[in-house]
Amino acid sequence: MTDKQHRIQALICSVIIYLRAQKGCMPGVDITLDKLSGMNLSNKSQIDIPSKSTRHDEVLGNAIAGIVATELVEIASCLKAAKDDLVWREDNAQFYKQGADLGEGYTKCIQKSLRQAGKCLPTSHF
């Protein structure tokens, strides 16, 4: 396994460990864990493609550095380590087809969080 694969696997594992600790406590966690359990997340399933940064690299770095909640420290550490190994894609209002039903969670939470960081999670997480 390459260093890149190790960093990505560590990130995946840190997220799954966090979600398991939150199982039954937060809305959507159980569904997310179910979906993740049906995916092949092994290092053998990873496709080695060149990483792609984002024009928002500084904002992303600051956001990762701003994760201070104790229960999220491992995810933040793994995300910081793997950040340059990942392909970051921006929506730019072009990823989804015009008029696509993105669901209430996306439209009410994610878009708002782009304007005001921290609305989806308690402010203690940031």
Q: How far is CA 62 from CA 65, 66, 109, 126, in A?
A: 5, 6, 20, 11
- List the domain boundaries for the chain: 3-90, 95-121
User: Is residue 119 very low, low, confident or very high in pLDDT (cuts 50, 70, 90)?
Assistant: very low
Instruction: Tell me the C-alpha distance between 21 and 42, whole Å.
Output: 21
First to last CA, the chain: 33
Segment 26-45, tens digit of pLDDT:
888 999 999 999 988 887 88
Encoded amino acid at 46, one letter: Q
Proportion of the chain above pLDDT 70, given as a percent? 74
Question: What pTM value is reported for the model?
Answer: 0.68
pLDDT at 125 over 80: no
